[in-house]
Amino acid sequence: KIGYANGLFIDSYNGFHEIGHSGATAGYRGWLAYYPAKQLSVVLLSNDGRFNPQEVGRKVAAVFLGQAAVAAPKKIDRNMKLTEAARQKWAGVWRQIDGFETRVVEVKDDQFYLTNTPLQLLHPDTLYQRGSWWISNGQEIKIQNGSSVNRFRKVASAEPKPAMAQFAGRYWSDDAQTELRIDISGEKLWVHRGPSERFSLTPAFRDAFLTDEGVLFEFTRSTGALTGLNVSMSRAYLVPFKKVIK
C-alpha cells in the first residue's frame, strides 16, 4: 500500500480503507471519499471557504461505517520494568510499511523515548504515548491512535560514519525523467537537481537518508553493490533511480 496514487490519497478511517481527495479554489471547498469494504462513497461540496468538508464528511461516513474491529491492547502493568528483552524488541529505527515515515525509539535512564517524549512500557508487547498504542506481534508494530492505524517494521540503524563515497555519483529515473547528482561536501551528502537546486541528506537508517523536508532517499543494492535509489515523498512513493555507470 502507498499513501498517494493516481491522484488519490490512500488512508484509513475508523479502521476502514479510505480512498479520496479534497479540493479548494476561491471560496469553494470539496471532498470525495470511497470506502471499499462498505462500498460507501461520501461527497461534500460547499461554497463557504471556511467549511472543512473532510471533517464533516468523515462524520457522515462514521454513521454508516461504525468502528472496525481492532486488536485491543493486552493486559497492562504500569509498573513494568524495562528488561534487556524489551530493549532488544523496541529500541531502534522503525520504518512505516504503508508509507515512508520513520520512528526512532531510544533508551534514556531506563525509559523508552520517541523524540524526547517518554514511551511507557505497559506490556512486553505494548507501549503507550499520548493516546497512541504501540502493539507488537513479533514481526511488526501497529501504532493505533483513535481510528488511525499505521504499521511499522524495524530496520537496521544508520552506521555511525557510513562510507559516503559509495553513495556519490549520478542517478537517472525513467519514471521521473530526472537526473540527480550526489556528491560529498563537509562530510555530508548533497543532492543536485538541475543547474541550481541543491539540498543535503541526513542519515535515517542503514542506506537511507532524509532531506530537511522529510523526503526519503533509500539506496538499493544487488549482491552488496550499490545499484540505485528510491525516492519517497508525500505524493510519490518509491520512485526508482538507477546509478549511472561511467
**SS (HEC) of 99-157:** CCCEEEEEECCCCEEECCEEEEEEECCEEEECCEEEEECCCCEEEEECCEEEEEEEECC
Is the whole-model pTM more than 0.75? no
Task: Please say whether the beta carbons of 171 and 243 come within 8 A.
Answer: yes
Residue 1 scores a pLDDT above 80: no
And the C-alpha cell for 172?
A: 537517472
Q: CA–CA separation, 23 vs 160, rounded Å?
A: 44
Per-residue pLDDT tens for 67-80? Answer: 655 555 566 666 77
- The residue extents of the domains of the chain are 4-65, 84-155, 164-243
Q: Is the pLDDT of residue 182 over 80?
A: yes
pLDDT band at 137 (very low <50, low <70, confident <90, very high): confident
Distance CA 28, CA 47 (A): 4
The architecture that CATH gives domain 84-155 is Beta Barrel (2.40)
pLDDT of residue 35: 92
The DSSP letter of residue 69 is -
Assigned CATH topology for domain 164-243: Lipocalin (2.40.128)
